[in-house]
Amino acid sequence: MCGKFTRMASWAGVVAFSEPLTRDSMENSGNDKVVGLRVGDPIPVIVYDADLPERVEIPMQWGFPHNTKRLDPIHCRSETIDTRPTFAPLFHGGQRGLVVVRTFNEGEEVGKKTVQYEVDPKDDAPLAFAVLWQKFAQGDKEIFACVQITAPANQLISRITDRMPAFLAQEDWPKWLGETPATQTELKAMLRTVEGVRWTMTKEERRVQAKRAKLKPIVSDPIPNLFD
């Protein structure tokens, strides 16, 4: 299951996409750097604000806050998105967004360990995976949180796991975000497995890392007044 992805630092704030999004238009410069993001981190989610009206990017916690300190859920299956009590109101209510990425990881369960593989879409990059989002009250604050929508794995990824992110074709973005009308049937049909690709999947070498600070299930400086 995907628990990590990368994007370029220069992509921050690039949400209008008034022209077709291409690899060249979002290619990293010589001074750019890859930014890695994981479950629990605040991740940049693109949504449509009908009051403006325009697309905006909001930092959202990846994973819904649980009644304990853990995050649960962090994923949503595309097959049951319109029937599960946790997700159906968000799907039907238009609380849909997307996250643009350069690469993403998938994990293979080997015994009690998870072996990480990086998937590089090559010329298909950048990709955008679908999410559902919700606001939560935490004390005297409100935070935004999201879950990644998944689809059955394609032929490449099914070698190590049975799920992958549900990536949206760029022509589907306006309907998914709610900019243009779409039926629930159309929206669900967008959440499909991406086949026939020339992506590569490479095992990540294990790195010695400094101990990470414990992540708190909150987003720093949330934007509390949107979508009231």
Parallel, antiparallel, or unpaired: how do β-strands 127-138 and 141-152 relate? antiparallel
Parallel, antiparallel, or unpaired: how do β-strands 141-152 and 54-62 relate? parallel
Domain span including residue 100: 4-203
Predicted local distance difference test score (pLDDT) of residue 217: 45
Predicted local distance difference test score (pLDDT) of residue 70: 75
Contacts of 132 (CB under 8 A, 6+ apart): 76, 81, 87, 90, 91, 95, 96, 97, 146, 147, 149
20 part of a folded domain: yes
99 part of a folded domain: yes
188 part of a folded domain: yes
pLDDT at 16 > cutoff 60: no
The percent helix, strand, coil of the chain (3-state, each to 5) is 15, 40, 45
Backbone angles phi, psi at 189, to 5 degrees: -65, -20
Q: Which position has the token pair 């949206």?
A: 168
Categorize the per-residue pLDDT at 222 as very low, low, confident or very high, splitting at 50, 70 and 90.
very low
140 part of a folded domain: yes
92 part of a folded domain: yes
The tally of domains found in the chain comes to: 1
Predicted local distance difference test score (pLDDT) of residue 147: 96
What are the pLDDT digits (tens) for 122-173?
Answer: 989 889 999 999 999 888 889 999 999 999 999 999 999 999 999 999 999 9
pTM flag (> 0.85): no
CA angle 218–137–150, rounded 5-degree value: 60
pLDDT at 207 > cutoff 50: yes
Rg from Cα positions in the chain: 17
221 part of a folded domain: no
Count of Cβ atoms closer than 10 Å to residue 37 Cβ: 17
Mean pLDDT of 53-80: 89
DSSP secondary structure string, 169-222?
PGGGHHHHHTSS---HHHHHHTS----S---EEEEPPP---PPPPPPPSS-SS-
pLDDT at 31 > cutoff 90: no
Predicted local distance difference test score (pLDDT) of residue 24: 54
User: How far is residue 126's CA from residue 26's CA, in Å, rounded to a whole number?
Assistant: 8
211 part of a folded domain: no
User: How far is residue 117's CA from residue 100's CA, in Å, rounded to a whole number?
Assistant: 19
Total residues found in the chain within this entry: 228
Predicted local distance difference test score (pLDDT) of residue 80: 97
Categorize the per-residue pLDDT at 51 as very low, low, confident or very high, splitting at 50, 70 and 90.
very high
CATH code of the domain covering residue 105: 3.90.1680.10
66 part of a folded domain: yes
